[in-house]
C-alpha cells in the first residue's frame, strides 16, 4: 500500500513538474496586432550601431530655423501612424519634423546583446540623429520617458537645444524619492487615474514573462525571442493604456511595435547613470510642460524640472491623463503650436512656479 502511495505521489510530482516547466519554457503566443508598415519610412544606420527607423515631415511655406524632433514614451514605445498625423500641422507652420522609433522598438533594429539597451545608448543615438538633421539647434518634444531622454541630452549639449517641450514627463534620474511626497496646489484640482500600472501588470503578467524578466534584468540573458516578448509588451501596453487617461473607455488600443527588452534594460540602466542635475542647474533652455489633470506621474517629480529650468511654463490640461493627445488632441495641438510660436497658451489652468 505504501509503495502505491509513493508511486502515486511521485507520478503527481512528475506531472506537476512537467506542467511547471511547460509554462516556464514553452514559447507563448499573444493575440495582438502586428506592424503593418508605415508610409514614407526611412532608415539611419548610426555610428553607435543602431539601425533607426524614422519619418521625416518636410516644412511647407516659410521654413522655421530649427527642426522639431519628437521623442516617444516608453522606453519601448514607438511612432504610430496616429503620431505622424498628429504632428503634420507643425509642417504647415514651417517646421521640419522628425519622428523616430528608438532602438529596440517599432521598426528600428533589435540588439542581440540586450545589455546594450541603456539610457546612455539612447542619448548617443539622439546626438547622432541631431547631427543628421544638419541643424545648428533643434526643438525637442519629449513624451513621458522621452522627456527623461531629452533631459539627459540637454545636460551634455545645452547649446544644441533651442526649446524643450515635455508632456507628462517622468522623473529626473536618479529619482529623489522624497519629491514623491510633495502635494500639488489645491487650485489645480489634480486627480488620480482610475486604473493603475500595478493592476495592468497583475492582469497581463504570467510565470514565463516574470522568468524572462528576471533572466534579463539579473543575468543579461534573452530567454525568449524578441517576437514573443514584443508581442507580450504590446499586450501589456494595451492594458497600461487605461492608466494614461481620465476616462478608461477612451484608452488607446495597442497597434503592435512595442519593445520589451529595451524597456526593462533601459530602465535598469537609469539607476546606473551619473546624476545630470549639476549640469542642468539653472539651465537657460526654455522649457514648456504640459500635464494632464489625471496624470499618473507624481506631482513632486514635475516640480524638479521647474527648479532646474528657471525659464519654464506649465499648463495643466483638463480632461486628460498621462497621454494628453488621446483625450484632448485639439487642445494638445493648439497649446503646442502656441508655445512654438511664442504665444501665451490659454487652456483652463496655468501655473508659473
Could you give the angle at the alpha carbon of 107 between the alpha carbons of 207 and 89, nearest 5°? 120
pLDDT at 22 over 80: no
CATH (residue range 41-351): 3.40.50.1820
pLDDT at 13 over 70: no
For the chain, give the percent of residues with pLDDT over 70: 90
pLDDT tens digits, residue range 310-330? 999 999 999 999 999 999 999
pLDDT band, very low/low/confident/very high, at 345 (cuts 50, 70, 90): low
Report the pLDDT averaged over residues 204-213.
95
pLDDT at 229 over 60: yes
Q: In sequence order, what are the residues at sequence separation of 6 or more whose Cβ sits closer than 8 angstroms to the Cβ of residue 213?
A: 264
pLDDT tens digits, residue range 278-302? 999 999 999 999 999 999 999 999 9
| DSSP H or E stretch at residue 351 | strand 349-351
- Break the chain into its structural domains and give their ranges: 41-351
CB atoms within 10 A of CB 217: 14
pLDDT tens digits, residue range 172-205? 999 999 999 999 999 898 999 999 999 999 999 9
Distance, CA of 96 to CA of 25 (rounded, Å): 47
pLDDT tens digits, residue range 151-162? 999 999 999 999
Amino acid at each position: 500500500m505504501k509503495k502505491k502511495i509513493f508511486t502515486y505521489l511521485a507520478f503527481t510530482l512528475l506531472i506537476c513538474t512537467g506542467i511547471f516547466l511547460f509554462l516556464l519554457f514553452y514559447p507563448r503566443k499573444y493575440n495582438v496586432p502586428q506592424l503593418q508598415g508605415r508610409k514614407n519610412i526611412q532608415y539611419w544606420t548610426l555610428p553607435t550601431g543602431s539601425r533607426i527607423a524614422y519619418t521625416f515631415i518636410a516644412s511647407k511655406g516659410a521654413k522655421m530655423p530649427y527642426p522639431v524632433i519628437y521623442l516617444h514614451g516608453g522606453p519601448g514605445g514607438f511612432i504610430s501612424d496616429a503620431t505622424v498625423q498628429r504632428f503634420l500641422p507643425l509642417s504647415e507652420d514651417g517646421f521640419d519634423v522628425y519622428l523616430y522609433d528608438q532602438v529596440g522598438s517599432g521598426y528600428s533594429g533589435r540588439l542581440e546583446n540586450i545589455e546594450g539597451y541603456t539610457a546612455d545608448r539612447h542619448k548617443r543615438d539622439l546626438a547622432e540623429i541631431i547631427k543628421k538633421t544638419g541643424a545648428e539647434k533643434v526643438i525637442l518634444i519629449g513624451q513621458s520617458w522621452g522627456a527623461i531622454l531629452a533631459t539627459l541630452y540637454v545636460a551634455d549639449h545645452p547649446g544644441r537645444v533651442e526649446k524643450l517641450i515635455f508632456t507628462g514627463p517622468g522623473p529626473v534620474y536618479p529619482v529623489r524619492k522624497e519629491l514623491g511626497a510633495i502635494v500639488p496646489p489645491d487650485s489645480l484640482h489634480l486627480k488620480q487615474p482610475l486604473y493603475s500600472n500595478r493592476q495592468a501588470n497583475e492582469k497581463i503578467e504570467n510565470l514565463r514573462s516574470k522568468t524572462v524578466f528576471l533572466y534579463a534584468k539579473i543575468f543579461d540573458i534573452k530567454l525568449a525571442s524578441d517576437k514573443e516578448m514584443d508581442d507580450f509588451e504590446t499586450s501589456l501596453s494595451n492594458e497600461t493604456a487605461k492608466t494614461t487617461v481620465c476616462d478608461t473607455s477612451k484608452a488607446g488600443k495597442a497597434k503592435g511595435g512595442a519593445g520589451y527588452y529595451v524597456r526593462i534594460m533601459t530602465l535598469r540602466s537609469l539607476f546606473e547613470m551619473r546624476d545630470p542635475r549639476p549640469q542642468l542647474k539653472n539651465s537657460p533652455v526654455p522649457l514648456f510642460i504640459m500635464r494632464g489633470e489625471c496624470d499618473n506621474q507624481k506631482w513632486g517629480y514635475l516640480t524638479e524640472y521647474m527648479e532646474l529650468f528657471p525659464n519654464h511654463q506649465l499648463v495643466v490640461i483638463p480632461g486628460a491623463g498621462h497621454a494628453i493627445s488621446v483625450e484632448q488632441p485639439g487642445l494638445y495641438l493648439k497649446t503646442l503650436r502656441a508655445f512654438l510660436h511664442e504665444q501665451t497658451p490659454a487652456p483652463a489652468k496655468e501655473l508659473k512656479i
